[in-house]
Structures are given as C-alpha cells and as structure tokens.
Amino acid sequence: MKKTRSIILISGNGSNLDNIVNKVTSGFIDMDICMVMTDNPSAKGLKIASNHNIPTLVVNTTVGFHDKLSKVIDDNYIDLIILAGFMKILPKTITDKYDGMILNIHPSLLPKHKGLNTHNKVIESGDKYHGASVHYVTSDLDDGPIIIQSKFKVEEYDLSLLKEQVHKIEYEIFPIALKWFVDGNISKQKNKFLFNNEVLECPIEHILDY
Ligand code: GRF
C-alpha cells in the first residue's frame, strides 16, 4: 500500500512536531513527512525539521497563501495536512479543497474554548476539567468533527502548569489520531466522517493512565 505523505504546519516551538517525528521514527506512525511549513521564520520547529532532514518552507500567509500552499500540497502528492501549533487560519478555499485531509490539535475540550488563549479561558471560567482535542479542519474555526479527546481534573489554576499538562496530553492523542488516519481507521467518505467504518458520532475519549 502507498505510504501516506504528510506536510506539517507549525508556527512556534514545534514540540508537537518533535513528538510526531519521534513517533514516525519509532515506527508507531507509518508515514512520510515530506515538508514542514511555517509562517514564522524564527519558529524553533524549523531546527527540529532540519535536524531530521525534513525539507522546510517559510511562507508569507498574507499574500497568495492559497496558491502557495495548494501548489506544495499538490506537487508533493500530499495525503495528510497536519496543523501542529499553526497559528494562522487556513483560507476556506484550502479547507474546502482538502476536506477530510486536514487534522488539527487544539488545546481545549472542544467545543469549549475555540480560538486562542484556551488556558486563560479555563482559569477565567473556573472549569473543573481541561484537556486537548484532535479534530478535522473545516472552514469554521476549531469546529470540525472531533476525533479524539482526553481530559484531566484541574487541580491548580496556574497558566504554565495547565499548558504543560495539556501538552502532555497532546503528545499522547495527536499521534494516535494520525496513526488512525494513516491506517485507515478514520476517513471521510460520502460526506460522512467515519471511525472503523461507523459514523463518528462523538469524540473517542482517551483515558490517561496516570
Ligand atoms: C499546542 O498547545 C497546540 O494545541 C496549539 O499550539 C500549541 C503548539 O505547541 N495549537 P508546540 O509548538 O507544538 O510546542
């Protein structure tokens, strides 16, 4: 079977990128990472990519972004577009064209707290639980079908602690969702999002073992 060809989009530290690269190297996810693309020339993740000999590309997202991204995806025969901390909103033309092929990691228990500053929103709302979600990307921000989620009980309303706890969850659930995509457990067929050939009615809950 043809190996899944992916592109990873990042904007910053790239710790999720690093984790995904490690899961590919260890054989957990059977895919090729063909390119790492960023809108931020100083993204730390660029170094991670080049350390692993993954081609990198810095793009300006304000002018001609659709055409540039589309060309890279098509020229490289990309099957899977991974948003791993990419802080720009993809144009609707992209989300429509590559519908069912784009996955994003979001640092909240969607549909709660879409958009930015999710940890602050959890603190302000005094939420009992916090967590992370992996979802398909559609034209509505952080609104596509949720594939997998994991949560923890908030013990301390401390920004950096929450960020750390959520990152830890992200490192578990994002590779699982990517593996499911690559292995064909999740897919979009005839306008329906499927998990193991059944309609994906609600997120799969990943229980933490710590
Ligand atoms: C993650 O928390 C992700 O959910 C959010 O941006 C953060 C990126 O972190 N979209 P990193 O760059 O992978 O360390």
Smallest CA-to-CA distance from 145 within 203, 184, 87 is with: 203
- Within 6 Å (CB) of ligand 1, which residues are found? 10, 12-16, 84-85, 105-107, 166-167, 170
Q: Is 42 left (phi over 0), alpha (psi -120 to 50) or beta?
A: alpha
| Angstrom distance (rounded) from CA 188 to CA 162 | 33
Mean pLDDT of the chain: 97
Please count the other Cβ atoms lying within 10 Å of the Cβ belonging to residue 138. Answer: 17
> What average pLDDT does this structure show over 58-81?
96
105 C-alpha vs ligand 1 centroid, how far in Å? 7
pLDDT in tens, 161-186: 999 999 999 999 999 999 999 999 99
Crossing angle between the packed helical segments 159-183 and 15-25, to the nearest 10 degrees: 40
Crossing angle between the packed helical segments 118-125 and 159-183, to the nearest 10 degrees: 120
Q: Of the residues 36, 105, 148, which should be mutated to test ligand 1's pocket, given the most ligand atoms within 8 Å of the CB?
A: 105
- CB 14 within 8 Å of CB 43: yes
Smallest CA-to-CA distance from 133 within 169, 98, 180 is with: 169
- Catalytically annotated residue among 66, 106, 113, 167: 106
pLDDT (0 to 100) of residue 145: 96
pLDDT (0 to 100) of residue 77: 98
Residue 39 is given by DSSP the state S
155 C-alpha vs ligand 1 centroid, how far in Å? 22
Q: What is the per-residue DSSP string for 57-93?
A: EE--SSSSHHHHHHHHHHHTT--EEEESS--SPPPHH
10 C-alpha vs ligand 1 centroid, how far in Å? 8
Smallest CA-to-CA distance from 10 within 76, 54, 64 is with: 54
- CB 121 within 8 Å of CB 111: no
Q: Does the annotation mark 106 as catalytic?
A: yes
Residue 210's pLDDT band, with cuts at 50, 70 and 90, is: confident
- Which residue type occupies 208? L
- Which residue type occupies 12? G
Which token pair is 193?
């999002």
pLDDT (0 to 100) of residue 168: 98
pLDDT (0 to 100) of residue 171: 98
Residue 209's pLDDT band, with cuts at 50, 70 and 90, is: confident
- CB 106 within 8 Å of CB 135: yes
